[in-house]
Chain A
Amino acid sequence: MKYKMEKPKLHLLLADDDIDDCDFFKEATDEISDACNLSIVHNGVELMNFLSSENADLPNLIFLDLNMPRKSGMECLAEIKSSDQLSQIPIIIYSTSLDHTVVSELYQMGALHYIQKPAEFSSIKTVIEKALLLFNANVTPTCSREHFIIQP
């Protein structure tokens, strides 16, 4: 993907406790484009602190892992969606598992998309690219249930 230089850099925030996955994600975003600015937090509490700090640089898009210590992804999602300042930030779930009921619940809670962490590095790149594309295409990010899950 190519982004025009005059466009401000896209601020992505990844919340994932797994160091390896964070590294893969960073490498993938680096390889996709230099137009992204990636911040990483390692658990739910850290995420909420990041978002609620005073002069917070609020992200354009949050990638949220579900299974995290201290505060789970689902709790974070609920908290963000109930906050006036934060509820507009689109959230893409980025998780190892793919449980039908959990996916449905997350959709109801207002997550924008769901990505099951791929095994192939190239697939990681593909899903992130797709997610960014969908995000750019949608000025007001909403999504139907059948396109909720992004496949690599």
Chain B
Amino acid sequence: MMPFKSIYYSERFLKIIFGFSLFMVLVMGGIAYKHIRQLSRSTADVQHNYEVHLELEKLLSALKDAESGKRGFIISRDSTFLEPLLLSSLELDKNMEHLKFLTKDNPEQQKNIAELKAKIVKSLDIFKKTLDLAATDNLNSPEFIAGFREGRQTMNSVRFKIIEMTTHESDVLGTSKEKSSKNISNTPMLLYYVLILSLLILLLTYLQNSKNLKVLKEKNELLETFKKSTTQSEIISKHGNWIWHIEENTFEYSDNLYRLLGEEPQSFEANLANYMDFVHPDDVDKLTEQVNKMMENEDLPFIHYRIIQKNGSIKHFKAYGKLLIDSDGHKKILGTTADITDEIENYRLIEKRNLELERSNKELSSFNYVASHDLQEPLRKIQTFLSRLEEKEQDHLSNNGKVYIERIKSSSTRMRSLIDDLLQFSRTNRSEEALEDSNINILLETAKHDLVEIISDKRARISSDFIPSMKVIPFQIKQLFLNLMSNSLKYSRELTAPVITITYSQTKASDLPKIKYSKHNLYHTITVKDNGIGFDQDYAEKIFILFNRLHNKNEYSGTGIGLSICKKIVENHNGYITAEGDINNGSIFTIYLPLS
């Protein structure tokens, strides 16, 4: 994410740089324009100055011509000398006008021109006067001499004025030239600095751009990798992705979505109508409704529907979509469609097997019932008839007959206890009874009560700790104590009064032997310890297996079911039972029940 952010920031940076560069170029252009304007203006100034000079020169020269013409006429009396005078008076007017026009921006010059004009007019008047005098041959008259002198003076003052004007014009040119030349001499330097600055900015931009490009390249490669792994995961997990651009209402389908539909990637245009063609007719309405909702709510919850591929096979699809708003503010829904056909088929298979299991369980339990209940009945009758036979026909029986009857009796008793225990085992189920808070001490006492005869026969001593109440199936726990205690009593040592010690403690799950995973942290621990014949520790596991016996039937009257029932009961309570045996020293049975 970070590099993308930096690109985002650098985009802003670039924008700023670009704006700045644009500004710089504009400034440079402006400065150049201004300076060129200035240059051209100063050129015009020089031109103008030159023209004014020229005009003044012309003026002066016309006056000079007139003067020299006048002198020529006076000396030679040849009137041809007067021609330039006549011409020059016309010329002078023209020159004056031109000068006036040229210097119309300069009030001082205008003033000078006005003065000059007055002087010229005066000088022309004096010309006329002297000429008139000359024409009447009054050359020696004092008037003529005065006129002539005055003419010279006026002429000098005109010349002086013209020089003054020329100087003024030169001064104006000089100052503007000085000003512009200062500006113009700064221009290359400024342009150079701006250029250097621009180049620096350009370099900076280039560096930033190349950095961004590198990041983009890396990101592109990463994206490419992601794309490949997405494609791969799409194929493996059998799902396809799609994007719905909400504003443009256009769709994009991933290649695998096409494959899920049984089509070649991008083989048809990605739109809703084309997709709907594949949807199972029974699911079209459902899906359309959901899609309409999606368009309204801009969200798509998990939906399940079927499609039919062109080859006719039906697939189960599950789809989900989520709204995404990208950095440009465009809304799109990113969707995932998964082919869950295998899941559904597996689920159906499991369901089918569950049903089969349930059926066979039912059969088994009814078999159990029949086996134990219906077998019990004829057996019981055999026993009843035997007791009748013993009672009533005792006297008619031979000794052999009596022995046979005894044998039949013991066999039927054994069969009876087998059937009873089997029935007990098959009835020890979890589902039958609910757990209830029970006083375990009372259950233990009830179990003891059931064994009261054998306890007194064997002079057994049974001691027990106080056990806290637990949530259990009461009759099963009573049965558990009953079986364990009768086990201890049954396998007691000859000539030794049985001593059974029942203790209570609590054990942490981590300290429990053989248990790796446990939902519970703490376990009630009840141990039943006796001083009986014990057993070889190698058989510690085996004794809990149904019909497993360590002793011959003739020695001990066990059915091999009692401890299996114990195990089943403890497991019904999510507990564990372990056994420790020490031959001729006794055995310890430990029950662990979860402390909820």
- A: residues with CB less than 8 A from B are 18, 20-21, 24, 67, 96-97, 99-101, 117-122, 124
Among A21, A99, A120, A124, the one with the most B-chain Cβ atoms within 10 Å of its Cβ is: A120
Among A21, A67, A121, the one with the most B-chain Cβ atoms within 10 Å of its Cβ is: A121
A100→B380 CA distance, assembly (Å): 20
8 Å CB contact of B387 from A99, A117, A122:
A122
- Given A96-B373, A100-B475, residue A121 in contact with residue B388 (CB < 8 A): yes
A100 x B427 contact (CB < 8 A): yes
8 Å CB contact of B391 from A18, A117, A121:
A121
Residues of B within 8 A of A99 (CB): 427
Residues of A within 8 A of B388 (CB): 24, 121
The chain B residue sitting closest to A96, CB to CB, is B377
Q: In the complex, what's the smallest C-beta–C-beta distance from B398 to chain A, in angstroms?
A: 22
A101→B427 CA distance, assembly (Å): 10
10 contacts across the A-B interface (CB closer than 8 A) = A20-B384, A24-B388, A67-B373, A96-B380, A97-B373, A100-B427, A101-B432, A119-B383, A120-B383, A121-B388
Q: In the complex, what's the smallest C-beta–C-beta distance from A114 to chain B, in angstroms?
A: 15
A96 x B376 contact (CB < 8 A): yes
Q: Does B549 touch A at the CB level, under 8 Å?
A: no
A124→B388 CA distance, assembly (Å): 11
The chain B residue sitting closest to A27, CB to CB, is B388
Q: In the complex, what's the smallest C-beta–C-beta distance from B365 to chain A, in angstroms?
A: 12
Contacting residues of chain B (304-322) with chain A, CB-CB under 8 angstroms: none
B294-312 near A? 1/0 per residue, CB < 8 Å: 0000000000000000000
The chain A residue sitting closest to B373, CB to CB, is A97
Q: In the complex, what's the smallest C-beta–C-beta distance from A77 to chain B, in angstroms?
A: 19
A40→B391 CA distance, assembly (Å): 25
Residues of B within 8 A of A97 (CB): 373, 376
A67→B370 CA distance, assembly (Å): 12
The chain B residue sitting closest to A67, CB to CB, is B373
B377 x A120 contact (CB < 8 A): no
A20→B379 CA distance, assembly (Å): 12
A25→B380 CA distance, assembly (Å): 14
A117→B378 CA distance, assembly (Å): 12
B387 x A121 contact (CB < 8 A): yes
Q: In the complex, what's the smallest C-beta–C-beta distance from B158 to chain A, in angstroms?
A: 151
Q: Does B381 touch A at the CB level, under 8 Å?
A: yes
A20→B381 CA distance, assembly (Å): 8
B384 x A124 contact (CB < 8 A): yes
B427 x A119 contact (CB < 8 A): no
- Given A101-B432, A121-B384, A121-B388, residue A18 in contact with residue B475 (CB < 8 A): no
A127→B272 CA distance, assembly (Å): 82
